[in-house]
Amino acid sequence: MPTALTERPAKTGSDFAELNRRINEAGLMRRRPRYYVLRFSLIGALYVGTWVSFALIGDTWLQMLTAVVLAVVSAQVALLGHDIAHRQVFRTRTPSERTGFFTGNLANGMGYGWWNDKHTRHHANPNHEELDPDVSPGLFVWSKRQAGIAQGIDRFFGKYQAQLFFPILTLEGLNLNWSGIKSVLKPGLKHRALEASLLAVHFIAYTAGVFLVLSPGKAIVFILVHKALWGLYMGSIFAPNHKGMPTFAGKQELDFLRKQVLTSRNVRGGRVIDAAMGGLNYQIEHHLFPGMPSPHLGKAQPIVREFCEEKGIPYHETGLIRSWKEALTELHRNGEPLRNPQPAKAL
């Protein structure tokens, strides 16, 4: 099993040790209980309030606006679950897991155990084509090497993946739900029975609530709007962080510091972007210090950026729209071998 999200690598090299010392001297690894109490309270109130408003508004097409609001709130719940998984909120495993089951399985129908394992492997080897599940080949090819081995329907999607990227993100919400269900259908998952029970409660309550308030046609459209926009929002948060940055395959000799910095991209934009992305716009700082509370990431940025400049390590930061453009440009470039296959050379 992968190491816990907040465990530091056993060997990080002298460069990271020096950066780590500066970060700790600045007090940026200390806990922020009041911040998280406020954030839990606010997001919890929005979540409950959205469903109460849904019940009071009743059977009308105006509920599609409620679906839009619920998509945003669902993403904010997921971002809070992300901080919980990294033990930014609680120091120990048990309260982190219990709260994670609540924000993941119960609130969003998203398997916490499955996602936590997947995300841990991503942090350990970001953008490694063989070790990072987020860049495993599938509908999208993340390098020209992957394009060369794409088969079947993946070849078609790979050709036009830049154009299809955001439309396919509308399916990400349903994919997250289905992945959670699959994780409890097979043995091996820790707390399998608990996770399955909480997922069942979520889907029964969600489906019953929507169909009791809305007519069948409106209920189906409501679910589709909610899940599509939730998936699009989630993908728009996570995609700018690594897509279009260097990928690796096989054995690579980068130390922990360079491996995390070179594969990550920061997104600037001020407090609005900070709130919308849950602090993940400071992706470089987050990958270097995953246990750092999210409100400290912006304060850590100038320290990390200055340190990278001292060491001659490229530090990439751009605006949100530019980050999407860079990701889509790289996707288009990686699909080139599928659009224009080279004829086989004669022997």
Question: Are the C-beta atoms of residues 172 and 231 closer than 8 Å to each other?
Answer: yes
Read off the pLDDT of residues 291-338 as tens digits, 9 standing for 90 and up.
Answer: 999 999 999 999 999 999 999 999 999 999 999 999 999 999 999 999
**Please, which pLDDT band fits residue 193 given cuts at 50, 70 and 90?**
very high
Range(s) of the domain holding residue 291: 13-339
The reported pLDDT for the residue numbered 64 is: 98
Average pLDDT on 115-132 reads 95
Q: What angle do CA 190, 242, 44 make, to 5 degrees?
A: 55
pLDDT of 104 strictly over 90 = yes
pLDDT of 341 strictly over 90 = no
Tell me the two tokens of residue 103: 């924000």
pLDDT of 13 strictly over 60 = no
Question: Are the C-beta atoms of residues 114 and 180 closer than 8 Å to each other?
Answer: yes
Contacts of range 117-125, beta carbons closer than 8 Å, 24 or more positions apart: 117/1, 117/2, 119/5, 119/82, 119/85, 120/2, 120/3, 120/4, 120/5, 121/2, 123/5, 123/287, 123/290, 124/2, 124/3, 125/259
The reported pLDDT for the residue numbered 69 is: 98
Residues 6+ apart with CB under 8 A from 131: 121, 124, 125
Inside any domain, residue 6: no
The reported pLDDT for the residue numbered 154 is: 87
Question: Are the C-beta atoms of residues 138 and 154 closer than 8 Å to each other?
Answer: yes
Inside any domain, residue 57: yes
Average pLDDT on 37-47 reads 97
Inside any domain, residue 2: no
**Please, which pLDDT band fits residue 343 given cuts at 50, 70 and 90?**
low
Q: Could you tell me which of 172, 170, 214, 165 has the C-alpha nearest to residue 54?
A: 214
The reported pLDDT for the residue numbered 12 is: 44
Inside any domain, residue 43: yes
pLDDT of 241 strictly over 90 = yes
Inside any domain, residue 7: no
Task: Write down the residue that tokens 């990072």 correspond to.
Answer: 132
Question: Are the C-beta atoms of residues 243 and 135 closer than 8 Å to each other?
Answer: no
Higher-scoring residue by pLDDT: 9, 230: 230
- Total structural domains within the chain: 1
Inside any domain, residue 346: no
Inside any domain, residue 345: no
The upper half-sphere exposure of residue 134, i.e. CA atoms within 13 Å in the direction of its Cβ, equals 26
Average pLDDT on 17-35 reads 97
Pairing mode, strands 317-319 and 266-268: parallel
CA distance 223 to 168: 17
CA distance 278 to 42: 14
Read off the pLDDT of residues 132-180 as tens digits, 9 standing for 90 and up.
Answer: 999 988 889 999 999 988 888 889 889 999 999 999 999 999 999 999 9
The reported pLDDT for the residue numbered 151 is: 87
The percentage of residues in the chain with a pLDDT greater than 70, rounded to a whole number, is 95
DSSP 25-66: HTTTTS--HHHHHHHHHHHHHHHHHHHHHHHHH-SSTTHHHH
The reported pLDDT for the residue numbered 108 is: 97
**Please, which pLDDT band fits residue 345 given cuts at 50, 70 and 90?**
low
Q: Could you tell me which of 195, 204, 281 has the C-alpha nearest to residue 242?
A: 281
Task: Write down the residue that tokens 């992968």 correspond to.
Answer: 2
Inside any domain, residue 347: no
**Please, which pLDDT band fits residue 250 given cuts at 50, 70 and 90?**
confident
**Please, which pLDDT band fits residue 14 given cuts at 50, 70 and 90?**
confident
The reported pLDDT for the residue numbered 9 is: 40
